[in-house]
A and B are shown apart, each in its own frame.
Chain A
Amino acid sequence: MQTDISTSAVCLFVGMLSTATFAAAEVTAPPASERFARADTEEVPGFQQHVVPLLGRLGCNGRACHGSFQGRGGFRLSLFGYDFKMDHAALTGRATSKDGLRVNQESPGESLIVRKPSMDVDHEGGQRFVAGSWEHHLLMRWVASGNLGVERPRELKTLKIEPSEIVFGDKAVSVQLRVVAVWQDGTREDVTGLCRFRTNDDAIVTVDREGRLHSTGHGDTHVIAFYDNGVKAVPVMRGMSGQAETKSAPLSATTEVDGFISAKLRKLGIAPSAICSDAEFLRRASIDLTGTLPTPDEVEQFLADPSSDKRHQKIDALLGRPAYAAWWANKLCDFTGCNPNRQAELGQETSLQWYTWIYDRLGRNVPYDELIEGIVLAKGRHEGQSYDDYAAERSAYFRDESPIDFTRRETMPHYWSRQTQQKPEEKALAFAHSFLGIRLQCAQCHKHPFAPWTQEDFKQFAAFFNNIQYGVAPGAKERYRELANQVGLSIRGKNGSPVRRDVLKHARAGRTVPWRELYVSERSGPASLDLLRTGIVELGPKSDSRIAIMGWMNEADNPWFARAFVNRVWASYFHIGIVDPPDDLNPANPPSNPELLDWLAASFVDRNYDMKWLHRQIVASQAYQRSWKPNDTNREDRRNFSRAIPRRIPAEVVYDGLKQAVAGSDQLDEVRNDLTRRAIGHLSMRLAGTYSMQVFGKPDRAVNCDCERVNQPTLLQSVFLQNDPLVEQRINESGWIQEIADSERAGNKVDRSKLIRAAWLRTVNRPPSAEETEKAEKHLAGVDSLSEGMRDLVWALINTKEFILNQ
Chain B
Amino acid sequence: MASSTTLLSRRQLLKIGVLGNGLSLSNYLRLNAAAAKQDTGRSAILVFLGGGPSHQDTFDLKPNAPSEYRGQFAPIATSAAGVEICEHMPRLARRAGKYAVLRGITHNLAAHGLGTRYLMTGNRPTPVVNYPMYGSVVSREFPAPEDLPSFVSIDRPVEGPGYLGPEYGPLSTGEKPRYGQPFRVRGITLGDGLTVDKYQSRRELLTDIDTAFDGFRQLDDSVRGLDRFSEQAYRIISSPRARDAFELSRESEREVARFGRHDFGQSMLLTTRLVEAGVRFVTVLLEGWDTHADNFNTLGRELLPRFDQSMSALLDRLDEQGRLDSTSILVTGEFGRTPKVNNKSGRDHWARAMCALMAGGDVVGGRVTGATDQKAEGPVSDGYTPDDLAATFFQNIGIDPKTEYEANVGRPITLVRDGETIPEVLS
List residues of A whose CB falls within 8 A of some B CB: 63, 201-203, 216-217, 219, 341, 420, 426, 429-430, 439, 441-442, 449, 576, 580-581, 584, 628-630, 635-636, 638, 645-648, 691, 694-697, 700, 702-705, 707-708, 710, 712-725, 728, 732, 764, 772, 775-776, 779, 792-793, 795-797, 799-802, 804-805, 807
Sort chain B's interface into a size bin.
Answer: 35 or more
B25: interface (CB < 8 Å) = yes
Tell me, rounded to whole Å, the shortest Cβ–Cβ distance linking B234 to chain A: 7
B10: interface (CB < 8 Å) = yes
B220: interface (CB < 8 Å) = yes
Q: Which are the 6 A-B pairs with shortest beta-carbon distances?
A: A718-B233, A707-B408, A713-B225, A796-B206, A718-B229, A714-B167
Identify the stretch in B180-188, B299-307, B347-355 within 8 Å (CB) of chain A at 4 or more residues: B180-188
**Are B202's CB and A800's CB within 8 A?**
no
**Are A723's CB and B190's CB within 8 A?**
yes
**Are A801's CB and B212's CB within 8 A?**
yes
**Are A722's CB and B127's CB within 8 A?**
no
B410: interface (CB < 8 Å) = yes
**Are B187's CB and A723's CB within 8 A?**
yes
Question: Cβ of A430: which chain B residues have Cβ within 8 Å of it?
Answer: 127
**Are B222's CB and A442's CB within 8 A?**
no
**Are B169's CB and A646's CB within 8 A?**
no
**Are B11's CB and A722's CB within 8 A?**
no
Q: A203-B11, A800-B209 are in contact. Are A723 and B128 (CB under 8 A)?
A: no
**Are B226's CB and A801's CB within 8 A?**
yes
B411: interface (CB < 8 Å) = yes
B245: interface (CB < 8 Å) = no
Question: Cβ of A714: which chain B residues have Cβ within 8 Å of it?
Answer: 165-167, 169, 225, 229
Identify the stretch in B16-24, B277-285, B390-398 within 8 Å (CB) of chain A at 4 or more residues: B16-24
A-B contact pairs, 11 of them (CB 8 A): A439-B409, A630-B219, A646-B223, A712-B24, A714-B225, A715-B236, A718-B230, A720-B187, A723-B233, A725-B174, A796-B210
Bound form: Cα–Cα A720–B232 in Å: 12
**Are B191's CB and A723's CB within 8 A?**
yes
**Are A203's CB and B14's CB within 8 A?**
yes
One of B24, B130, B149, B194 near A708 (C-beta < 8 A): B130
Bound form: Cα–Cα A540–B339 in Å: 48
**Are A802's CB and B236's CB within 8 A?**
no
Question: Which B residue sits closest to A697, measured CB to CB?
Answer: B166
One of A647, A705, A764, A796 near B409 (C-beta < 8 A): A705
Bound form: Cα–Cα A425–B301 in Å: 47
Bound form: Cα–Cα A341–B127 in Å: 13
**Are B222's CB and A712's CB within 8 A?**
yes
One of A635, A797, A800 near B219 (C-beta < 8 A): A635
One of A420, A636, A703, A807 near B15 (C-beta < 8 A): A636
Q: A581-B21, A630-B216, A723-B190 are in contact. Are A715 and B233 (CB under 8 A)?
A: yes
Tell me, rounded to whole Å, the shortest Cβ–Cβ distance linking B136 to chain A: 12
**Are B169's CB and A695's CB within 8 A?**
yes
Question: Cβ of B221: which chain A residues have Cβ within 8 Å of it?
Answer: 712
**Are B233's CB and A341's CB within 8 A?**
no
Question: Which A residue sits closest to B13, measured CB to CB?
Answer: A203
Question: Which A residue sits closest to B156, measured CB to CB?
Answer: A691
**Are A725's CB and B191's CB within 8 A?**
yes
**Are A696's CB and B166's CB within 8 A?**
yes
B369: interface (CB < 8 Å) = no
Question: Cβ of A700: which chain B residues have Cβ within 8 Å of it?
Answer: 130
B237: interface (CB < 8 Å) = yes
Question: Cβ of A724: which chain B residues have Cβ within 8 Å of it?
Answer: 186-187
**Are A716's CB and B127's CB within 8 A?**
no
**Are B22's CB and A719's CB within 8 A?**
no
Question: Cβ of A636: which chain B residues have Cβ within 8 Å of it?
Answer: 14-15
Bound form: Cα–Cα A793–B205 in Å: 8
Question: Which B residue sits closest to A644, measured CB to CB?
Answer: B220
Question: Cβ of A580: which chain B residues have Cβ within 8 Å of it?
Answer: 19-20
Bound form: Cα–Cα A189–B220 in Å: 46
Tell me, rounded to whole Å, the shortest Cβ–Cβ distance linking A783 to chain B: 8
> Quick one: which of B188, B209, B236 has the most chain A CB within 10 A?
B209
B172: interface (CB < 8 Å) = yes
Q: A715-B233, A775-B208, A799-B230 are in contact. Are A584 and B222 (CB under 8 A)?
A: no
**Are A712's CB and B25's CB within 8 A?**
yes
> Quick one: which of B20, B160, B171 has the most chain A CB within 10 A?
B20
**Are B206's CB and A705's CB within 8 A?**
no
Tell me, rounded to whole Å, the shortest Cβ–Cβ distance linking A222 to chain B: 14
Question: Cβ of A799: which chain B residues have Cβ within 8 Å of it?
Answer: 206, 210, 230
**Are B234's CB and A722's CB within 8 A?**
yes
One of B13, B14, B25, B411 near A713 (C-beta < 8 A): B25
B40: interface (CB < 8 Å) = no
B97: interface (CB < 8 Å) = no
Question: Which B residue sits closest to A206, measured CB to CB?
Answer: B10
Question: Cβ of B205: which chain A residues have Cβ within 8 Å of it?
Answer: 775-776, 779, 792-793, 796
Question: Cβ of B252: which chain A residues have Cβ within 8 Å of it?
Answer: none
Q: A691-B186, A718-B226, A796-B206 are in contact. Are A646 and B220 (CB under 8 A)?
A: yes
Q: A584-B410, A712-B222, A802-B210 are in contact. Are A722 and B174 (CB under 8 A)?
A: no
One of A646, A694, A795 near B166 (C-beta < 8 A): A694
Bound form: Cα–Cα A723–B242 in Å: 14
Q: A646-B223, A792-B202 are in contact. Are A722 and B230 (CB under 8 A)?
A: yes
B5: interface (CB < 8 Å) = no
One of B174, B213, B233 near A691 (C-beta < 8 A): B174
**Are A801's CB and B213's CB within 8 A?**
yes
**Are A718's CB and B232's CB within 8 A?**
yes
Question: Cβ of A775: which chain B residues have Cβ within 8 Å of it?
Answer: 205, 208-209
**Contacts A581-B21, A800-B206 known; 9 new A-B pairs at CB < 8 A:** A628-B216, A697-B165, A712-B166, A716-B171, A722-B233, A724-B187, A795-B202, A797-B209, A805-B226
Tell me, rounded to whole Å, the shortest Cβ–Cβ distance linking A215 to chain B: 12
**Are B166's CB and A576's CB within 8 A?**
no
**Are B225's CB and A772's CB within 8 A?**
no
Tell me, rounded to whole Å, the shortest Cβ–Cβ distance linking B227 to chain A: 7
B157: interface (CB < 8 Å) = yes
**Are B188's CB and A723's CB within 8 A?**
yes
Question: Cβ of B169: which chain A residues have Cβ within 8 Å of it?
Answer: 694-695, 714, 716
Tell me, rounded to whole Å, the shortest Cβ–Cβ distance linking B407 to chain A: 9
Tell me, rounded to whole Å, the shortest Cβ–Cβ distance linking A641 to chain B: 13
Bound form: Cα–Cα A697–B222 in Å: 14
Bound form: Cα–Cα A477–B216 in Å: 67
Which residues of chain B (6-62) have a CB below 8 Å from chain A? 9-11, 13-15, 17, 19-22, 24-25
**Are B19's CB and A710's CB within 8 A?**
no
**Are A713's CB and B10's CB within 8 A?**
no
Bound form: Cα–Cα A638–B232 in Å: 27
Bound form: Cα–Cα A721–B206 in Å: 12
Question: Cβ of B145: which chain A residues have Cβ within 8 Å of it?
Answer: none
Q: A201-B10, A772-B209, A801-B223 are in contact. Are A715 and B232 (CB under 8 A)?
A: yes
**Are A776's CB and B408's CB within 8 A?**
no
**Are A716's CB and B410's CB within 8 A?**
no
Question: Cβ of A807: which chain B residues have Cβ within 8 Å of it?
Answer: 212
**Are B209's CB and A796's CB within 8 A?**
yes
Question: Cβ of A429: which chain B residues have Cβ within 8 Å of it?
Answer: 127-128
B129: interface (CB < 8 Å) = yes
Question: Which A residue sits closest to B117, measured CB to CB?
Answer: A702
B113: interface (CB < 8 Å) = yes
**Are B11's CB and A439's CB within 8 A?**
no
**Are B128's CB and A441's CB within 8 A?**
yes
Question: Which A residue sits closest to B17, measured CB to CB?
Answer: A638
Q: A707-B409, A708-B130 are in contact. Are A725 and B184 (CB under 8 A)?
A: yes
Which residues of chain B (151-202) have a CB below 8 Å from chain A? 156-157, 160, 163, 165-167, 169, 171-172, 174, 184, 186-188, 190-191, 194, 199, 201-202
Bound form: Cα–Cα A500–B130 in Å: 28
Tell me, rounded to whole Å, the shortest Cβ–Cβ distance linking B333 to chain A: 20
